[in-house]
Amino acid sequence: MTDSAPPLTATLDPATGRPAGTAQAVVLLLASCLAVLGAVLLAPVLPLIQDAFADTPGVATLTPIVLTVPALIIGLTATTAGRVVDRLGRKRLLVGALAVYAVVGTAPLWLSSLPLIVASRVLVGLTEAAIMTCCTTLLADYFHGPQRERYFGLQTVYTTVAATVFFAVGGLLGSLGWRTPFWLYAISLPLAFVAARVIWQPPQHHTREKLPPLPWRGLLAPVGVTLIGGLVFYVLIVELSYVLDGIGVTSTATIGLASALGSLATAVAAYLFPRVARLGPAVTVPAAFALSGLGILGLALAQSVPVAVLGAVVAGLGNGLMLPSLLTWALGSLTFEQRGRGTGIWTSAMFIGQFVCPLAILALADATTGLPTALLVVAVAALLLALAVRLIHPTRSVAVPAGTP
């Protein structure tokens, strides 16, 4: 063996012979944050949007849809985006989606009606589905083994930090008017330019007129667990403020600090994921659900701020492990020609779970004795799922040799 042998940890650029590296990873990680931009940027200005269109019929229903509809569209269309990724290639779709994202994202700057703004948000969701699917697929294409696990963990770190930053920026820009935050969507234009120069289409190892079928037997379990995981993951984000309000906290500073600590725990756990990834999904997936379940249990039983904050931190640790663990499980056994569709299906499951989360909690709260009982049900479900996943030994379905493209 010589020193010139190609590394097994990264795919080589067919044009230059160089392995994928930090430049490609950073572009993909930054582009992954755009879906978070769509989810949190407008939260601080929703009341202003509702006031601006107070004369619109159904304004109370349409206004929150401005915030939530992109996530729903991602959930409904990411699977289709995955087929396009496998059929037409990664780079073209990514660069095109980044460019269109800037156009439809900034459209509310000049749109004069709330229904048209909602329609533009549907288009934002379509572009986000393509961007998320391309970014995750390319990370899996470019990197293998420990490097892939590291970047899957960093993807969660980047998006978690981005959520905190975008929330603050959205509030700051919102003070200048409800339309002002929409300017931030133009950030995808320079990203499109950089992606066109830095990202390269990975070499396709097999030329086929027809895409090979997906290994559904090995894919159904991680996708099904991911659907529930999306719901569990979003509980902390959606319900923490209501838990604190229920125990008498009225200070927005206290609520913000508790939320920040939960987000920090998510980022820390995701950053540390590569150090535990060698244990495999048979350990990391149950550990993630166990931590999230215990944290949600703490929120359900909290009667004081310290207990609620402790629950938020523990749930955040579970959330930080959850996404990279589930992604590693789902994509571990897929080939190059299957990876785009597999990523799209996984992304759909995750975002559908997130969209359903507040609706499911509300339904449980109405059917039981309130929010604490609803959270208790979700916590027990997460703990039982941790046990179930541990028993089915997911590593059996992801046994892939190191360096498999």
pLDDT, one tens digit for every residue, the chain (405 residues): 444 444 456 677 777 778 888 899 999 999 999 988 866 777 667 778 888 898 888 887 788 778 778 888 988 888 888 888 888 788 999 999 999 999 999 999 999 899 999 999 999 999 999 998 899 889 988 888 888 888 888 888 888 788 777 767 877 787 788 898 899 999 999 999 999 999 988 876 544 557 778 778 888 889 999 999 999 998 887 788 788 888 888 776 677 778 778 888 988 898 888 888 888 889 999 999 999 999 999 999 999 999 999 999 999 999 999 988 998 898 877 787 788 888 888 888 988 888 888 788 888 988 988 889 999 999 999 999 999 998 886 444 443 333 334
* Burial of residue 265, with CB atoms counted within 10 A of its CB: 0-12 exposed, 13-18 middle, 19 or more buried: buried
52 and 180 both lie in a single domain: yes
Q: Quick check: is 108 in a domain?
A: yes
Same domain, residue pair 135 and 266: no
As given in the structure block, the two tokens for residue 207 are 């030329």
Verify that 306 and 261 share a domain, yes or no.
Answer: yes
Identify whether residues 27 and 169 lie together within a single domain. Answer: yes
Q: What single-letter DSSP state applies at residue 226?
A: H
Structural domain total, the chain: 2
Q: What is the pLDDT of residue 312?
A: 92
Residue 45 and residue 190 in one domain: yes
pLDDT at 328: 87
pLDDT, position 404: 39
Name the burial class of residue 344, with classes exposed (0-12), middle (13-18) and buried (19+) by CB atoms within 10 angstroms of its CB.
buried
Residue 31 lies in a domain: yes
> Is residue 83 assigned to a domain?
yes
Burial 158-173 (b: 16+ CB within 10 A, else e): bbbbbbbebbebbeeb
Indicate whether 173 and 224 sit together in one domain.
no
Residues linked to residue 175 through DSSP beta bridges, in sequence order: none
Are residue 235 and residue 172 in the same domain, yes or no? no
Co-location of 130 and 272 in the same domain? no
Listed residue (125, 123, 126, 113) closest to 53, CA to CA: 113
What is the residue range of 290's domain? 216-397
CATH number assigned to the domain comprising residue 137: 1.20.1250.20
Residues 189 and 230 in one domain: no
Boundary residue ending a domain (143, 165, 198):
198
Question: Which one-letter DSSP state was computed for residue 9?
Answer: S
Q: What pLDDT, on the 0 to 100 scale, is given for residue 7?
A: 46
CB 25 within 8 A of CB 142: yes
- 231, part of any domain: yes
User: Would you state the pLDDT for residue 397?
Assistant: 41
Q: Which residues, 6 or more positions from 378, have their beta carbon under 8 angstroms from its beta carbon?
A: 231, 232, 235, 293, 296, 360, 361, 364
Note whether residue 273 is domain-resident.
yes
Measured in degrees and rounded to the nearest 5, phi and psi for residue 143 equal -125, 150
Q: What is the pLDDT of residue 9?
A: 61
Distance (Å, whole) CA 34 – CA 128 = 7
Q: Do 193 and 234 share a domain, yes or no?
A: no
Residue 405 lies in a domain: no
- Cβ proximity of 353 and 233 under 8 Å: yes
- DSSP track, 80-134: HHHHHHHHH-HHHHHHHHHHHHHHHHHGGGT--SHHHHHHHHHHHHHHHHHHHHH
Let me know whether 156 and 286 are in one domain: no
- Residue 66 counted as domain residue: yes
Looking at residue 206, what is its pLDDT?
A: 45
Return d(Cα 169, Cα 178) in angstroms, integer: 13
Q: What are phi and psi of 95, to 5 degrees?
A: -65, -45
Same domain, yes or no, for 156 and 250? no
135 part of a folded domain:
yes
pLDDT for residue 252: 62
Q: Which of 140, 171, 198 is the last residue of a domain?
A: 198
